Structure formats: structure tokens, C-alpha cells
Structure 1
């Protein structure tokens, strides 16, 4: 009984305890559910609040199209483009880069309490001073306002953003001094203040930013300062960029204390003094740029601690002395650039044994002695440049052993021996430039045909042997003058259709001149003078459309001068002197616009053409005893009037006979031609044509086809001819590009056609040529465009062509040139930034910039264009296509394509507009880009580079602006080039300056004389 009672009591107690426990669990669950409900309600309110802030932000910026997907109906704002949220759905990041946003920064943006990242770069935003609204963004860590129009000063309390880890305000119009309080942003890892208009000096307090890893203070041209010694306290700094910022004084000796430094760029300043030895103490340093300064003295000896250095660039200074042998201990060194100094002595042999050496640039010094035989043996050498020194002995025979060599530049030395046979191994070799040496022997047979070889410059040596049966198909320039080459000129040499310059003068070549040499369509310069050539001149010109200079003098050429020479459209210099030519001078030669003519010392007879009877040709006809002229200034016989009179009856009779024969012959020929044309026209019209319109048309395909006759041809290119065709009764003019083949179009031309139609039919812009329609059949493709009266820009920039342009202007004044630049930039900016898929043109050049009657620019010829999947992303092309002088270096080397190759081509056009020079000058053997960069790097005034034809009009500021912008656009590194949107911004600012000055003529004229010195103020660079 007692046991039963106890058991019952235990059971009751247990039940009570379990009941209490259950009540506690229920109570806990209730509060948990209540908490979750409250949290969910609060979170929902927060989300609603943040969504409202973002919608207000969109409305504040006037609902830009780029934010069209920010709508309340578009689910959660965390799914909107350019918005980042945390795990609870609160906004932490906004990235609105390159969104065409205008206006100011609203203060309510910091109502997003968890905002840590804000990127507003590459827009059109403004302010009067730094937006202090950001002080209320308590969690902000990354702020990027670069590439906008923010102006005014930075506040002294800018340190009120204590969590900031990155601050980028570069390429704006901020001015005044940089406040010292910026040194209190101690969490900063990245500080970017480049390309603003600050004055004063760099605050030494920046040296207090102990966590800083990247510091960019470049292109601050209104600052004049030393490099603060306090900067050397930045022990974590990896990247220091202070180029073109008027730095003066010496580089601090303590720079060796910046132990983490990898990239140092102090170029284009006014630094002076010795290069501190501490520079070589930096173990992680990979890139050093110190060019265009006034540094002097010897190179310090390199200590063991520098063994991790990858690249040394001390070029373009005033360094003297010798290269220390210690350089050979830098086993990780991949690049050594010491060019444009005054260094002397022998180049240490130990440098040739460096295992990682890729680039060696030692040109323009006073080095002497022999070169190490080990260059190229132990490393993947790509660039070997030792030109303009006093070197002797042979070129290293192992230069090309590893097959990576791209260029050998060793001209203007005293080198001897043969060219290294190892060069035959180098499939990437582009240039061999060894003129003005004492090299001899035969050229390695495989060198002539290397696929990528574009320049082979061997003049002024003692090379022997015969010319090859074939040349590289990509060879542009072959200069072998003043050597000892012999034998006949092989016909197969001229299968290389890309050849631009052929100079083989002063050799021992014999035989006749092959007819095939006239089939080179791109040839501009041909020198075969001072050889032993015989036979007659080529009587049929196959394709000398570009030839400007022809020199065949001092040979044994006989026969008559072909009248076909008078039809060469570009010929300006002709020298056929000291040969055995006979007969009369063809009157057709008088049609040429020759600036130089020499037919002296031949056996020519008769009267010279009337066009040459002036003092300009006083010495052109000497030592031709049977030539005569009426002008005594030509120093040849006066034509005998008595002999002429006695010959009149027979001449008249002969003229009547010849005239009658010609009439009969022409009648028969005309009948035959008409029959053929009618048959061809009927056949052409009978073909199955398909017309695809892209605009409303008031003509038919028959209107177009009937106008495709030779007299309507206005141009030609690699893929066909261009016609000027009048259509319909209103005589509307269109331009027709015809791609024709007797058989079905080959794959390349078909791709060009497809690319052009696809792109031009999908885009509309006032600065892009309008494609009206396309007409196609199985073996012919026609693209019909709007016709632009003033043709292409290159015709206006080439002086010889300007007088023939339709408007009658002798030259383009600067306002029109700037107008053209702005228009072309607007077209390219639209292609790169405003199309649904960014478009890369791939062949931006002056001949592809067309001009209407008001000189508005329109971009044309999209046969090479390529749509990119994503802006800025590289696309690899199967072949390199483009134009010499305009092709970006990375495109030629890597065949990688993005928008920056168009920026490069546009930069060349800017340099053409500013200087009046050609993109490639055969006479100077250099491109305009190389010439312009050298002009700047040598410290020459920019004003000296400007086109004299328009410089006198006193547009110096604007022209300097365009020149500087062209330099920036043609940077070798694509990342250093601005985008087309940035380029357009700068040009618009230049244009605004021009308009202002034209409206203030008195003030403009008062400063004209002062502008004839270089303006070092680079504020015209704007946001670059």
C-alpha cells in the first residue's frame, strides 16, 4: 500500500513537472514567433524604405535610360541592375559607372545606412566642391567619383569618412590645395587624385597613411613640388604614379625604405640630381619609369638586395659613365632600358647571360667594344636595340636561338661580320634594322620570307649575293641600297603585294626591269638607280596607283619613255637620268604634278612638253643634244623655227592621214565597245538581284546598276570600287561600294560584306555614314550609301590633293579641323558606349572619315568592324587587319581587339590634324606616332610640331590640346589610353575654348604673339 502511494505520488509530481516544462516551451515558441514576426515586419519596412530611396535617386537624376529597370514592379530592389545587397536584403553597394548620369549627388543617398561601396565614375556629374553629403555615409569604404565634372576645392575636414579604404576623385576639375587632413584617413588602401587642377604642393601628411598600397598623383600640372621625403614612410605602398606633375628636386635617398614598392613612375617631370642607390634596394620593384627628367651622374652599383628586380628603365636622362658589371647579378631582370643617355664603355658580357632577359634597349649612347656572344642563348629575348652607338665586331650569332625575337635594331654602329643565321628561326620577327654598319656576306635565305617581317633595312653595308625568288607577304619596306647585291631582279619578288618602299639603289643588279614590279598597288617609293639594268622601261602599268617616287637613273636602260607614265596619279618625283633613253618626251608627262624631274644625260629628241618650260625644270633636260625648247631658262637648244617651217607641209599631210585613220579606227572601236557594253549591261540586269532597303528609297536597283561605269569611279580599296551615281529625276547622288568577282565571292570578302551590312543597318547616328540599302547577287555585292560631297579627310590633309577638292579651299582651317575631330569622336563614342553591343571599327583612319558639305564628319567603311559581347572585353581575331601607321601595337602583336585599338587610330588622326603630317612618312622611315612621341620625349616645344598652315591663325591652345590628346590616345599600353567618351569630353572643352576666344577677338589677338612658345599648362587635358 505504501509502495503504491509513493508510486502514485511520483506519477503526479512527474505530470506536474512535464506540464510546467510544456508551458515553458510553448511560452518560448510564442516569443520566438513573435520576434520573427517583428523582425520580418522591420525588415520589410527597411526594404520598402530603401527601395523608395533608390526610386527617389532615379527621379533626382531625371530618370536616365540606364536606370530604366529600377521600377517598383520589378520585384525586390536587390535584383535591380547595379545594386548589391547583404544577406538580409539591405543595400551595401551601388555601381553606376558609365551610365550617362548628370546632375549632383543628393544628400539622401546616405539614408542607405549600410552603404559601403559607391561608384559614380565615368558620368557627367557636377558639384561646387566635394560633396560633403558623404560624411553621413557612416559605413562607406569605397568611393569612386573619377572621370566626372566635379569642381571646387576639397574640404579641410575630409577626414570625416574614417572607414574609407579607397578614394578615387581623379580626372575631375577639383582645384585649390590638397588638404593636409587627407592624411588622417588612416584606413585608406588606395588614394587616386590624378588629373585634377590642384595647386600648391603635395601634403607630406600623406606619408601618415600607413596602410596605403596605391597612390596616384599624376598629371597635376598646376602643382610644383618636390617628392616629399615623408612618402618614403609608406612601407606598404606597391604602386606610386606621379608622372607629369612638375616634380622638382631630387629623389629622396630614403626611397629604399619603401620595401613593398613594385611600380614606380616619376616620368615627365623636372627631377634632377643623382639616382639614389636606395632605389636598387627595393626587392619587389618590377617597373621603374624615370624618363624625361634631368637626372645625371653615374648608375650606382647594384647590391645583392636588388636581385629580385624585374625591369630597370633609366632611359632619357643625362646618365654618364659605364654600366656596372653588377647588373649581371640581377637574375630576375627581364628588361633593361638605358637609351638616350651618355653612357660609354663596353656593355658587360654578364648581361647577355641573364636568364630572364626579354627586352634590351641601349640605343643612343656612346657604348663601344663588342657585344656578348651570349645574347639570346639563355633567355627568350624579344627586343634587341643597340642602335646609334660605337659598337664593333659581329652581331651575336645566338640572337634568335629561342625563336621569340621581334626586332633587331642596330643601325649606326661599326658592326662587321654576317647577319646571324639564327634569325631564320624567328617567326615573330617584324623588323631588322642594321643600316650604316660594315656587315657583309649573304643574307640568311629564310630571313627574306619570315611571315611577320614588315621592315628589312640593310642599306649601307657590304652584303652580297642575289635577291630572293620570294619575299614575305607582309613585307612593307625593303631597303638594301649601297651594298653589293648582284644578278637579275627575280619576278617572284613582286608577289608580295603589300610592299610600300623598295630601295635597291647602288648595287650590281643587271638584266631588265620586270613588268611585274608595276603590279604593286601599295608601292609609293621605288629606287633602282646606280645599278647595271638594261632593256626598256615597263610599257604597261598594271597597278601603280600609289607610286610617288621613281628613280631609275644611272643604268643602261634604252628605248622610249612610255606615255603610260603620264597617267600615274600620285607621281611627284621622277628621275630617269644617265641612261640611254631615246625618242620624244611623251606629252602625257606634262599631266603629272611633278615637284622633281630629271631626264638629263639621255638621247632624247624633239621638243619638250609646254608644261616644263619654266625655271623649276632648269636642270631637268641637260645633255640631251637633240632636245629643244622655246624657253632659254632650260639651258638647252632653242627649237629651229626654219626647220619647223620647212617641215610644215609634210607635217600637215601626215596629220591628215593620221587623223583620218584615227577616225576610222575610233568608229570601229566605239561600235565594238557599245556592243560589248550593251551585252554586259543586259547580262548584268538579267542577273537575279536582291535589294534590301534600310531606308525609304526613291530609286530602284536598275537606277544603281546603270550608273556603275568607269567614269563614275571615285575611289577603290582592297575589296572593290566606289562609284558616284546619280539616281532618279531629281539627280539625287549616292555612293555605291561594289564588291565584285567573276565567281562567287571568296570567304574573306563575304565576311566583310556581312559585317558592314550587319553593323550599318542596325545603328543610326549623325556621325556615322548612312547605309541606304544593299543589292546582292551570287557574284556581286553592292552597298549604297549617302553621298558626302567633301569626300574623305585624308584628301584634305594631303597638300597635293587640297586644291582639287570641290569647295575650292586650299586647306582646312583649325576650327573646321576641330569640328571634324569632335564629329568623329561622337561617332566612335556612340559605337563604343551607347550601342546595345559595343562596336569596334578596327580600321579608324583619316580616309575612313567622310565629310559632308558642311564638313561634318561621318565614320565609314565598317568592313573590318567586330561586335563585342561585352564592353572592354578582348576578342581575338583570326587575322590582323588594319592600316599601317594607324594600327595599335597590341593589335599587331597579339591580335586582341577591344575599343582601345580605335582610340589609338583616332589618336593618330588627332596628330594628323594638329601637325599636318602623314600617318606614315616614307622619307623619314617612321610613323607619325613615333615622330610625335620622340618630339615630346626630347623636350621640344609642342608648338614646333604644329601645322604651319594653320598655326599662324593663333589657335595655339586648342591645337596643343589636340596634340596632347593624340599623344595620350597613342600610348603603347591600352590601359593608359582614355575611352572615347573621355576623348570626346576633352575635345568638347577645346571647342568651347575656341568658341569663347572667337567671340572675344580682341583678347585673343592680344595674346597671339605670346602663344608662340609652348604652353605647359595641361588643363586642356580635362578629364584625361
Structure 2
């Protein structure tokens, strides 16, 4: 304790009470000075999520965010993650009692701030994860001698570390990793820090050298991170004296020799990372370091067997031995470890079977043993605890059936079992939509039999079942599929006509099966298709001209089928590196662009083909000039062209509603403008600070959606929904247009059944729409995703009817009470949101358009909407009026009544077609109704609403009722179910319009 502090201490306790009382004004003055200093700091640094809430009118600065006081004086400032801040001002050290300063993760750009030398009481300093540059000053020891924690990691400091770094007598934690320090390790200087417990020098380009033997003097060291810093040589024996060591990380260096015995016998070591070095020899057979939690000695040159003593490490959670030269079997004792979650032994020379108890006694999550010589069956209890997310066992000699525990392995994400000898039927649950995590399935080159379900899960991205014995029809593919390979199986039937579900697919391989029928003309919707292989099937018909519109198509293999007709001229638009149309029945002239040496073997065994000149490299006859074409042929040609044109329009329709890519996260330093449409009790900063991943709740057509609590609870804060839309004028002006239209429409609408737009916030880089928050989510979730939202029970009939009436009121207002009328264009159950009382509101007007004159149709250059809800005329005429919303709402009514999704992938693909067929062929029956509304008291009304849905989805727009007519019908059912009492009548629509 300094003399000055001792005198203060003495006076405080020894002076008479009257003198102590006279010292209060001085304390008040000190508090006032600190208050003013903090306000100057705020002014210097500018606005940030925390600084923005520092209230200059509040005298109690000790309650400000990031400020800690002790006995009324400021002792700590903690302001991490405030995005961009200016360099530190000298005034910060006017806070004489400051002991703790944390400014990490702020992108501060400057040399090392030597003004901190004046903070004489500083004990904790964290400047990590910024943009500090230049060399550390030689007199860095001029920082407080009381310093215990110094963190300068993840910056851009250069040069050597000065010797004075070792002149801090109390330093316990020195973190200098992830910079650009060069020169030699400051071994002698750091070894003087006798109290040091944490040392990180990793990820710096030091001059190659061994681990300093001097580090063995740091007897209290518990955490030592020295990875990726050009360490050579062997691990020195002097480090065995580090008896308190908890973590040792020497990974990503160039060390060699054997792993010392003392490491495997260390009593307190928990985390051992020696991967990506050049260690050789065997692992110590007598392992007594029983506290080990994680072992990673992968990517070395270790030999010998895996020690059986590893089975004694009962705390072990992670065991990485991959990419070595280990042989022998895996000890069965490893299967008994109670905490093992991740085991990776791939790329070795292991043999024998897996431990029979593996997965049964621990929360095993990841198993990777590929590229070995392992055999036998997979352990029966592999997914016993339902935690398994990765199974990677390819390139071994496994055989037999898959374990029954996989049948309920719902967390599984990656299943890579190719190139083994597995047999027996593949677990049906893994094809189920319930398995919503599984994305990669590679089981090619095995002997699996069986069939597919009608539709594969939406989350599959990579599916390869080639060279097995799967049979039956091709399933409906959907969702995120990038690669689908099913070559050399026994699949039959036709290629599904609806390919919109896999519009993102890049590789599609059905070669060597028994596929028949023709190639769907909708192939053009696969605009990302790079490779298509249909070789060796029984496909007939013409080659669709739509191929010419798949701009990225690189490989096209259609040989050994029964294709006929001419090769489309649009093939000249493609940039193919490989094309094979041989062994078909094609006729006519080979397109001139393909009459080159690159495609010399592409058209063999098609006797009806010809070339334009003798200069062609193809051995085909010269085409004869065509003179007369019969009227019948002309009609066929016109019909074909019309069909192709229709398909291309449909292709445009399907492309129109594909998701747009989002830009990077918004930056807080942008200049924001807030445009309110209602009285607000929050600011733009309240919204911006809530745009983080943990608040993300979903995505709309043109932006991400966040759930944000805006404002202060005491002053009437509220939960809001925020849609973030990026500006992409240079790439896609459509997003900008979406934003302007949505603001224009929603900013003017005032109706209780239309979601309220509170304000918009815009900058030069991004735009935000802030809506009222709807606690019960969407109607789609309550009808089709009840498990995900933990719904206690299905919606009953009165609730469904009320939801239908509420959403219909919103649409009726748009069509009949707005001048000009508004067409929503994307009516669907996902855009009907529910409040806590299950009152419904229409949302997402990103597709809406205002009709120029009442009753006029408007033409659009691109189709938008959602498949399954789109009226049939929408894809043919590109002319719309309010009747397309009537059709879409009819589909919603059918969803409410039947519980089916709008596009279920069944025989008729779309719910409207299915409902019409049921109505025509079988009439009305209780079997049409969702199980949640089969109460006898409501069956009659529900079936009548089903009929209304069928009428609304009629093929001809003129035969569909208006929104006002539909609302009148629904209100009659509401009157009946409520004993003639109606809350709001359509004749008084203004009662629903907000002032």
C-alpha cells in the first residue's frame, strides 16, 4: 500500500466525526469529475449499442452500462463488441482508480496506446481482437506494476516482442497470440514471470526454433498455447516440471521425435493438442494421465497400436488419432468410456471390428473411422443415446445390416458409408421428413435393397445411392438438393414432371436404371444444373429444347436410350465440355456448333443423323435440302413450338420465386434514417442492437426476419419483428423495388387484419422494415409444423373459421376498399400470422402491386408467388387481377379443412387439383376433413367451406367469386356457430379500419 493510500486510510478511521463529515464535498466533487470524464469519453468514441444509452441527465453514472464502481468511484470500464471505436483518448487515465479496462472486439486502429502508462492502478487490460498495428514499445513495462492480466491477442502487432514484457512482477496472464510478431521467442524474459498462469504465443511467424527450455521455470503455468509459431525440434524434458499444466497445445508446428512419456503420465493435464507435427514412434502404452478430457495427436507419423490404457481415461470426451500409421485393432475398452462424444481414427491401418459397446455407454456424437481395414458389423448400440450426428465409415470392409438404433437417430446430419459391403434394407426413418437434420447420405457401392418414400426430406443436399439394389419409382426430390446420384440400381418409372423442388441441383445421375417415359420439358427450371447423366435407360421421346436455357450445363450424357427427333438447335447456346447422345434414334442435322472435333464421338449409332458439309469430322451423310413440308408436319411443328414456349414461360415462373441471396450483416456505423408510420417508443439504435443471430427467427422472400425487444420496458417497450433487406442495385434492382413497394403499400394501410408496419429504417447499405410482432407465428406452422412449435393440440373448428374470416377481411379491404385496389399475389398460410388470441392478420406484401385503374388487369414481366397457391392463368398469360388472390385463398381454405399442404407431392401434386378430383369423383365425406375438426357438430359446416374452397380454385377466373362474396359466405357460418351473434359485420367494414 502506498504512503498516500496509507494516510487516507489512517485519516478515515482516526479523525473525529466532524472532520469526516467535512470530507463529503470532496467525494462529491470527485464523482462529478468522473461523470464529466465519462461524458467526454462518450463524445470522443461516438454512438454505440452501450454508449448510446449513457444518459447525460442521469447523475448516477455507476449504473451506466459497462461501468463498475467501488465505494462510489469508477474502477472498471468494460466495453467489448461496440463495433468501430476511435483510438483511446488520454483522458481515460484521469479516472485515477481505474483497475480494469476491457475494449476488446472494437476494430480500434492505432499503434499501442502509450497514454495508458498514466493509468497507475491498472490491473486488467484487454485490447484483443482490434486492429492495433506497429511494434510494441520497448518501455511497455511502463504500464502499471500492478498489472496481472495483459491481453493483446488478435491484432496486427509486428516486430519482436520487447524484453521488457518480462518486467511485470505480478503478471498472471500474458496473451500475445494471433499477431505478426517475428524474431525469436522472448524466452528468457518471459521465464522471469514467476506468477504466470496463462501464456499464448500461438499464430505468429517467429523464426523457427525449438520450444525454449526456459519455459520449464514457469512452475505455476496452467495454460500453454504455442501452436502455429514455427516450433522445431523435440519437446524438451524441462517442461515436465510444469506440474500445474491443464492445457498443452503445440499443434501446427514442425516438431519431431517421440511424444515424451511424462505427457502421458501428467496428473493434471486435461487438454492435449499435438496435431499436425512430425512426431514418430508409438504412443506410450502405460497411460496414467487420468484427467485427460481431449486428446488430439492427429496428422503425425505415429506407429504401433492404440493403447488399451485409453480405456481408463473415464473423463475422455474427444479422441483424435487420425492421419497416422497406427495398426492393430481398436481396444474394446474404448467403447466403455462414459463421456466419449467424438472419436476420429480415419486414415490409419486399423483392422478388426469396432468396439461392440461403442455408443451404448456415452453420448457419442461423431464417429469417423474411414480409410482403414475395419470389418464386421457396426455396433448395435451405436446411436443408443440418440446423440449421434456423424457416421463416417467409408472405404472399409464393413458388412451386414445397419444397427437398429439408427432407426431413431434423428440428430444424424452426415451418413458416409460408401465402399463397404453393407446389406439389408436401409432404415426407413432416415428417409423420413422427421429426420430434419440429415443432409448428406453417401451409401454408394454397397448392396442395399429397398424402395424410396414418395418424397425425400427437404434438407437433403447430397444423396448418392449408386451401385446398390434400390428399386421402384424415383422419389419426389425437394429442398436443398445439390447432388443426386442413383446410378446402376433398379429404379423404374418416369422422371418426375415437377422438378421445382430441386431447382438448385448441380449434379443429377440416374444412369444404368430402368427409367422410361420422356425427359420432362420442365428440365429448364434446373438453372444450376452442371452435370446430367441418364445413360443406359429406356427413355423415349424428343430431347427438350429447354436444355438450351441451362447456361451452366457442362456434362450431358443421354446415350443408350430410345430418344428420337432432332437435336435442338438451342444446344448451340451451351458451353459443353462433354456430350454423349450416341445409341439413340435421333434424326436430322447435327447443330453446326457441334460438328467439331471436340464432339467427334458424341453422336455414334444414330443412323438418322446428318451433317451440313463434307468438312465435318463426323462420319454421317450430307443432309438433303428440304423443300416441301406437309400441312400436317407444319401443324406438328407449330404445336411443338407452342409447347416449348409454354414450358419456357413455366420455367420463368418457377425461377421467379427462387430465394434471393442475402448480403453480409449490417454495420452499425452506417448512417440510418427512421421513417415512422405510427407513434414509436423506441429508436433505431434499439432495433440495430437486436439484429444478431440469436434473435433470427426466419426468412422472407427478400430478407431475414428478427425478433427484437425494442425500447425500455419502463417506457412502453415492445417486441417487434424486423425484416432486413439489403440494397443490391448493382446486382439485382428487384430487391430495392420490393422494399419500396412494401413500404408504399403497408405504410398507407390501416386495418386490424393486416399486419402493422410501425416504421422503416434505411441507410445507403441496408433497409429495415419494423412490424408488430405476432406471438403465435403463422397458420402454416399450426397446420403443418405443430411438433416444431410444441402446439398442445390442433386448431379447433371455431378457431379455424375465425382465422379464415379475419384473413378474408384483410384481403377484402385490399380488393374493395383501397383506391386503387391492391392485389397481394402471395396469399398462403405462411403469410397469415396469428396474435396471442389467434386473431389473424395478412402479412408479407413484398409481391403486392397496386392496380393502375380499378378493374384493370396489369401485366408483369416476371411470375412471382408460391407453387401450389398460384392460379393456373398466372403462368400462361402474365395478366392478373384480384381473382388470383381468390384462387390462393381458396387453397388456404382447403388447407384449413383437410390439414394437407398446398403442394404435397402426391399424385396430383397440388392440393387444389386433389380437392377438385375428390369432389368430382367421391363427393363430400368426413374423410376429407382434418382429424382435428371431425366433431359431428361442425362436420356439415366444414364440408361446405371445403366446397367454397373448390369453387374459389376454379380454373376460369370469371367463375370465381369476389373476395366480398367469399367473406359473406364465411360470415354466415360464423353466425350459425355463434348463435346469430356476429362480432363485426361486413357492412360495417370501417369498424376494422384503424384511425
TM above 0.5, yes or no, is: yes
Q: Is the 8 A contact 2:119 2:143 kept in 1?
A: no
- Residues 1:114 and 2:97 are matched in the alignment: yes
Q: Secondary structure at the match of 1:219?
A: coil
- Residues 1:658 and 2:627 are matched in the alignment: no
Residue 600 of structure 1: aligned partner: 582
- Residues 1:389 and 2:372 are matched in the alignment: yes
Residue 440 of structure 2: aligned partner: 455
List per-residue Cα deviations over 1:478-524 (Å, max 9, x = no partner): 11111233x3225xx21534332221111233444443457532322
Q: Which 10-residue stretch deviates more, 524-533 or 60-69? A: 60-69
Q: Structure 1 length as normaliser, TM-score?
A: 0.60
Q: Secondary structure at the match of 1:456?
A: strand
Mapped partners of 2:526, 2:728: distance in 1: 37
Residues 128 and 443 of structure 1, relative CA distance in 2, 3 Å threshold: closer
Q: Is the 8 A contact 1:607 1:639 kept in 2?
A: no
Deviation at 1:473, TM superposition (A): 2.9
Residue 86 of structure 2: aligned partner: 102
Q: Is the 8 A contact 2:337 2:361 kept in 1?
A: yes
Residue 908 of structure 1: aligned partner: none
Deviation at 1:533, TM superposition (A): 3.1
Q: Is the 8 A contact 1:179 1:203 kept in 2?
A: no
- Residues 1:328 and 2:278 are matched in the alignment: no
Residue 543 of structure 2: aligned partner: 561
Q: Secondary structure at the match of 1:102?
A: coil
Q: 1:318 aligns with which of 283, 291, 301?
A: 301
- In structure 1, runs of 5+ residues without a counterpart are 1-28, 674-708, 723-746, 784-835, 840-855, 868-877, 881-1024
Mapped partners of 2:73, 2:330: distance in 1: 64
Mapped partners of 2:483, 2:363: distance in 1: 31
Q: 1:538 aligns with which of 520, 531, 535?
A: 520
Deviation at 1:863, TM superposition (A): 12
Q: Structure 2 length as normaliser, TM-score?
A: 0.62
Q: Is the 8 A contact 1:551 1:576 kept in 2?
A: yes
Number of equivalent positions: 698
List per-residue Cα deviations over 1:206-235 (Å, max 9, x = no partner): 234333222221222144333222323434
- Residues 1:221 and 2:205 are matched in the alignment: yes
Q: Secondary structure at the match of 2:448?
A: strand
Mapped partners of 2:303, 2:577: distance in 1: 46
Q: 1:337 aligns with which of 302, 314, 320?
A: 320
Deviation at 1:77, TM superposition (A): 4.6
Deviation at 1:278, TM superposition (A): 1.5
Q: Is the 8 A contact 1:130 1:150 kept in 2?
A: no
List per-residue Cα deviations over 1:525-555 (Å, max 9, x = no partner): 2211122333443355484333322211122
Q: Secondary structure at the match of 1:755?
A: strand
Mapped partners of 1:72, 1:41: distance in 2: 21
Mapped partners of 1:608, 1:279: distance in 2: 71
Q: Is the 8 A contact 1:121 1:148 kept in 2?
A: no
Residue 407 of structure 1: aligned partner: 390
Deviation at 1:79, TM superposition (A): 4.7
- Residues 1:472 and 2:457 are matched in the alignment: yes
Mapped partners of 2:237, 2:547: distance in 1: 68
Residues 626 and 76 of structure 1, relative CA distance in 2, 3 Å threshold: closer
Residues 538 and 164 of structure 1, relative CA distance in 2, 3 Å threshold: same
Residue 285 of structure 2: aligned partner: 301
List per-residue Cα deviations over 1:606-638 (Å, max 9, x = no partner): 222223222221111011122111355765454
- Residues 1:237 and 2:221 are matched in the alignment: yes
Q: Secondary structure at the match of 1:35?
A: helix
Residues 247 and 536 of structure 1, relative CA distance in 2, 3 Å threshold: same
Residues 432 and 206 of structure 1, relative CA distance in 2, 3 Å threshold: same
Q: Which 10-residue stretch deviates more, 74-83 or 469-478? A: 74-83
Deviation at 1:862, TM superposition (A): 9.7
Residues 583 and 262 of structure 1, relative CA distance in 2, 3 Å threshold: same
Q: Secondary structure at the match of 1:342?
A: coil
Residue 23 of structure 2: aligned partner: 39
Q: Secondary structure at the match of 1:606?
A: strand
Mapped partners of 2:263, 2:330: distance in 1: 22
Residue 480 of structure 2: aligned partner: 498
Residue 152 of structure 1: aligned partner: 135
Deviation at 1:152, TM superposition (A): 3.1
Q: Secondary structure at the match of 1:244?
A: coil
Q: Is the 8 A contact 1:255 1:279 kept in 2?
A: no
Mapped partners of 1:173, 1:748: distance in 2: 37
The alignment yields a C-alpha RMSD, in angstroms, of 4.6
List per-residue Cα deviations over 1:266-293 (Å, max 9, x = no partner): 2222222211121123334333222222
Residue 246 of structure 2: aligned partner: 262
Residue 630 of structure 1: aligned partner: 612
Mapped partners of 1:521, 1:341: distance in 2: 41
Q: Is the 8 A contact 1:541 1:564 kept in 2?
A: yes
List per-residue Cα deviations over 1:893-946 (Å, max 9, x = no partner): xxxxxxxxxxxxxxxxxxxxxxxxxxxxxxxxxxxxxxxxxxxxxxxxxxxxxx
Mapped partners of 2:377, 2:397: distance in 1: 9
Q: Which 10-residue stretch deviates more, 752-761 or 546-555? A: 752-761
Deviation at 1:398, TM superposition (A): 1.9
Q: Is the 8 A contact 2:102 2:125 kept in 1?
A: yes
- Residues 1:360 and 2:376 are matched in the alignment: no
Mapped partners of 1:861, 1:30: distance in 2: 62
Q: Is the 8 A contact 2:760 2:770 kept in 1?
A: no
Mapped partners of 1:636, 1:455: distance in 2: 42
Residue 484 of structure 1: aligned partner: 469
Residue 210 of structure 1: aligned partner: 194
Residue 532 of structure 2: aligned partner: 550
Q: Is the 8 A contact 1:367 1:391 kept in 2?
A: yes
Residue 503 of structure 2: aligned partner: 521
Residues 511 and 294 of structure 1, relative CA distance in 2, 3 Å threshold: same
List per-residue Cα deviations over 1:771-822 (Å, max 9, x = no partner): 78544699x9999xxxxxxxxxxxxxxxxxxxxxxxxxxxxxxxxxxxxxxx
Q: Secondary structure at the match of 1:447?
A: helix
Residue 856 of structure 2: aligned partner: none
- Residues 1:200 and 2:169 are matched in the alignment: no
Q: Is the 8 A contact 1:125 1:150 kept in 2?
A: no
Q: Is the 8 A contact 1:614 1:631 kept in 2?
A: no
Residues 127 and 506 of structure 1, relative CA distance in 2, 3 Å threshold: closer
Residue correspondence of structure 1 range 265-304 to structure 2 within 5 A: 265-304=249-288
Q: Is the 8 A contact 1:311 1:333 kept in 2?
A: yes
Q: Is the 8 A contact 2:723 2:770 kept in 1?
A: no
Q: Secondary structure at the match of 2:190?
A: helix
Residue 489 of structure 2: aligned partner: 507
- In structure 2, runs of 5+ residues without a counterpart are 1-12, 663-696, 707-719, 749-758, 775-786, 790-995
Residues 174 and 511 of structure 1, relative CA distance in 2, 3 Å threshold: closer
Q: Is the 8 A contact 1:473 1:496 kept in 2?
A: yes
Mapped partners of 1:340, 1:347: distance in 2: 15
Q: Is the 8 A contact 2:35 2:59 kept in 1?
A: no
List per-residue Cα deviations over 1:552-573 (Å, max 9, x = no partner): 1122333333344444454332
Residues 321 and 530 of structure 1, relative CA distance in 2, 3 Å threshold: same
Deviation at 1:66, TM superposition (A): 7.6
Deviation at 1:97, TM superposition (A): 3.8
Deviation at 1:179, TM superposition (A): 3.6
Residues 174 and 432 of structure 1, relative CA distance in 2, 3 Å threshold: closer
Structure number with higher helix proportion: 1
Mapped partners of 2:616, 2:257: distance in 1: 61
Residue correspondence of structure 1 range 430-441 to structure 2 within 5 A: 430-441=413-424
Residues 365 and 159 of structure 1, relative CA distance in 2, 3 Å threshold: farther
Q: Is the 8 A contact 1:156 1:180 kept in 2?
A: no
Q: Secondary structure at the match of 1:47?
A: helix
Q: 1:575 aligns with which of 553, 557, 560?
A: 557
Q: Secondary structure at the match of 1:616?
A: helix
Deviation at 1:360, TM superposition (A): 0.6
Deviation at 1:70, TM superposition (A): 7.1
